[in-house]
Amino acid sequence: MKKKMLSVLLTVTMALTMLAGCGQEGKEIPAASDEAPAQTPASEPEGSEEKDAETPGSGKSAYGDVTAKEQYNFQIIVKSMSSDFWRAAAKGAEDEAAALGVNVTVIGPNSNTDTADQVQMLNNAVNSKPDGIGIAAVDKEAVLPALQAAMDAGIPVICFNSGVPDAPEGSVYATASTDNYNAGGIAAENMYTALKDVIAASDKPVRIGVVNQDVTSDSVVNRGLGFIDKMMELVKADGKTAAVTGSDKYVDDAKEKGDAATADVIIEVRVPSQATSELCATEAGVLLNEDDLIGIMGTNQETAEGIVTADELLGKLGKDASAGNVIACGFDSGATVINAIENGIMYGAVTQSPRFQGQITVDLLTMIANGESVQNEETPAFWYDTDNMNDPEIAPNLIK
């Protein structure tokens, strides 16, 4: 594109920085989640006042360098309409469309695992012949035929939050995504800080649990693997050994599997049959009932909420590993996760910028409809806990 839209929103009123960039319209570009750590700005929380946006319908974006030549029609498909995160992404898309004077229709399935429903929505969107489609794919393989159909119909597609690495060449014009692998590593680094003394002092194996939403979403898989690989690296650097057990997908794709029979640290990965808070809580409960568990990680809002729910009767979570507390970390936010962190139940979490992902998706689609070139955009991830959750670059991303 003519200008790369990487802004620095440290507060909702701060000026935004623009960096030049280029891309090739109509050519698939590797997903941003496979590249460097995201440096893009924070977004505002759902329901906050849109102080930095232009007047709705003014034809100018909140970022200053995108204008719509016509009143385009876009379809935006999120992963789930029942999640705070995805509702915030939808709000970002709707607000940006109003600022640009274009039309968006935001839809999504009831659950993050309703693959068939989302694929049908994508097929319906292609048949409606919009000026462009934005999609956060639930299953990166299941959407491939529909992406081919979109390309055949001349409809440009932007992927956001989750990339589709094997998309038909030319079907996906760009991906706007957090570097999810590195974001998982951020969670591991912060959890390890809380656990390293306990690991070093233990004369018997200890366990760290990971509850992953699924084995199909590019973003969640990369988060889980980023957490596992970084935790293995940190444990090894301190002279201990580690091994991965549980879900075959994560065991097979981890950089190192280790030997569970001799490992000092067991990283056990569990995946619910569906990404509901109830089923996530069931998997978290299995882990929390292990006597040797010292830490537990949830890779998205549903799994993090499931961990908190599972602990309500067990009371094992806390912030002091040396006192026997299990250290819990999560991903994204929502009232349950934020309250658990504020009350010292959960140690901390990693947040993305959902509203920014929705906004930038509409910007990219508008640029393509204008005949401009686009390229991948990275969106940010931040660790937050009680020490920094009110900082101006963090707070706008925390959605209750």
Give the pLDDT confidence score for residue 60 in this predicted structure.
Answer: 54
Edge to edge, what strands does the sheet with 132-135 contain?
Answer: 103-107, 73-77, 132-135, 157-160, 172-177, 377-378
- Which spans in 159-300 are helix H? 180-201, 218-237, 248-253, 277-288
User: Comparing 10-14, 78-82, 220-224, 274-278, which segment has the lowest mean pLDDT?
Assistant: 10-14
Per-residue pLDDT of 276-333, as tens digits, reads: 889 999 999 999 999 999 999 999 999 999 999 999 999 999 999 999 999 999 999 9
Model confidence at 27: pLDDT above 80: no
Per-residue pLDDT of 326-385, as tens digits, reads: 999 999 999 999 999 999 999 999 999 999 999 999 999 999 999 999 999 999 899 999
Model confidence at 20: pLDDT above 60: no
Tokens in use for 46? 């759902």
Model confidence at 160: pLDDT above 80: yes
Percent of the chain with pLDDT over 90: 78
Exposure of 191 in the CB half-sphere (CA atoms within 13 A): 34
What is d(CA 336, CA 301) in angstroms, rounded to the nearest whole number?
9
Residue bearing tokens 């693997």: 225
Is-contact 349 304, C-beta < 8 A?
yes
Phi, psi of 149 (to 5 degrees): -65, -40
Give the pLDDT confidence score for residue 84 in this predicted structure.
Answer: 87
User: Comparing 25-34, 92-101, 102-111, 207-216, which segment has the lowest mean pLDDT?
Assistant: 25-34
Is-contact 367 334, C-beta < 8 A?
no
Model confidence at 163: pLDDT above 60: yes
Per-residue pLDDT of 228-277, as tens digits, reads: 999 999 999 999 999 999 999 999 999 999 999 999 999 999 999 987 88
What is d(CA 7, CA 17) in angstroms, rounded to the nearest whole number?
5
Edge to edge, what strands does the sheet with 382-384 contain?
Answer: 242-246, 265-270, 206-211, 293-298, 327-331, 348-351, 382-384
* Beta-strand relationship, 348-351 and 382-384: antiparallel
| Domains along the sequence of the chain with CATH | 32-178+353-380 (3.40.50.2300), 180-351 (3.40.50.2300)
Model confidence at 5: pLDDT above 70: no
Give the pLDDT confidence score for residue 274 in this predicted structure.
Answer: 84
Q: What integer is the mean pLDDT of 196-201?
A: 98
37: three-class secondary structure by DSSP: coil
